[in-house]
A and B are shown apart, each in its own frame.
Chain A
Amino acid sequence: MEYVNPEGLRLDGRRPMEMRQIRAEIGAVAKADGSAVFEMGNTKVIAAVYGPREVQNRSQQISDKALVRCEYSMANFSTGDRMRKPKGDRRSTEISLVIRQTMEACIMTHLMPRSQIDIFVQVLQADGGTRSACINAATLALADAGIPLRDLVTSCSAGYLNSTPLLDLNYVEDSAGGPDVTVGFLPKLDKVTLLQMDSKLSIDLFENVMQLAIEGCKAVANYIREILLENTKQLEYRRGL
Chain B
Amino acid sequence: MKEEGEREVVTPGEVLGKASDVRAGRGAYLAPHNNLVYASLTGFRRALSPSPDSPDQRPTVEITDHKAHGAVPEPGSIVIARVTKVMAKMASADIMCVGPKSVREKFSGIIRQQDVRATEIDKVDMHLSFRPGDIVKAIVLSLGDARAYYLSTAKNELGVVSAESTAGATMVPISWTEMQCPLTAQIEHRKVAKIGG
Contacts and interface: CB of A to CB of B under 8 A. Distances in A.
Nearest to B14: A188
Interface stretch (A15-23, A71-79, A86-94, A146-154): A146-154
B29 A108 contact: yes
Nearest to A227: B11
B22 interface: no
Interface residues of A, number: 30
B37 interface: no
A225 interface: yes
B2 A143 contact: no
Given A108-B29, A108-B40, A232 B66 contact: yes
A233 interface: yes
Interface in B43-65: 43-44, 65
Given A148-B27, A232-B66, A236-B2, A53 B105 contact: yes
Contacts of A241: 1-2
A150 B11 contact: no
B9 A143 contact: no
A189 interface: yes
B44 A150 contact: no
Contact of B38 (A58, A146, A150): A150
B67 A152 contact: no
B42 A188 contact: no
A148 B41 contact: yes
B31 interface: yes
A189 B40 CA distance: 12
Contact of B43 (A53, A224, A232): A232
Contacts of A235: 66
A216 interface: no
A187 B14 CA distance: 10
Contacts of A236: 2, 44
B13 interface: yes
A15 B146 CA distance: 58
Interface in A186-241: 186-189, 224-225, 228-229, 231-233, 235-237, 241
Contact of B11 (A33, A54, A146, A229): A229
Interface string B1-32: 11000000101111100000000000101010
A149 B10 CA distance: 12
A34 interface: yes
B38 A188 contact: yes
A146 B41 contact: yes
Interface in A121-158: 143-146, 148-152
Contact of B105 (A54, A146, A151): A54
Nearest to A232: B9
Contacts of B123: none
A150 B1 CA distance: 31
A150 B12 contact: yes
B27 to A, nearest CB: 7
Nearest to B104: A53
A150 B27 CA distance: 10
Contacts of B1: 241
A151 B41 contact: no
A149 B13 contact: yes
Given A143-B42, A232-B43, A236-B2, A189 B27 contact: no
What 3 pairs across the A-B complex have the smallest Cβ distances?
A: A151-B13, A188-B13, A148-B40
Given A148-B40, A150-B29, 12 more contacts: A58-B146, A108-B40, A149-B12, A149-B13, A150-B31, A188-B14, A189-B31, A232-B9, A232-B43, A232-B44, A236-B2, A237-B2
Interface of A: 33-34, 53-54, 58, 108, 143-146, 148-152, 186-189, 224-225, 228-229, 231-233, 235-237, 241
23 contacts: A53-B105, A54-B105, A108-B40, A143-B12, A146-B41, A146-B67, A148-B12, A148-B29, A148-B40, A148-B41, A149-B40, A149-B41, A150-B13, A150-B31, A150-B38, A186-B13, A187-B13, A189-B13, A189-B31, A225-B11, A232-B44, A233-B9, A236-B2
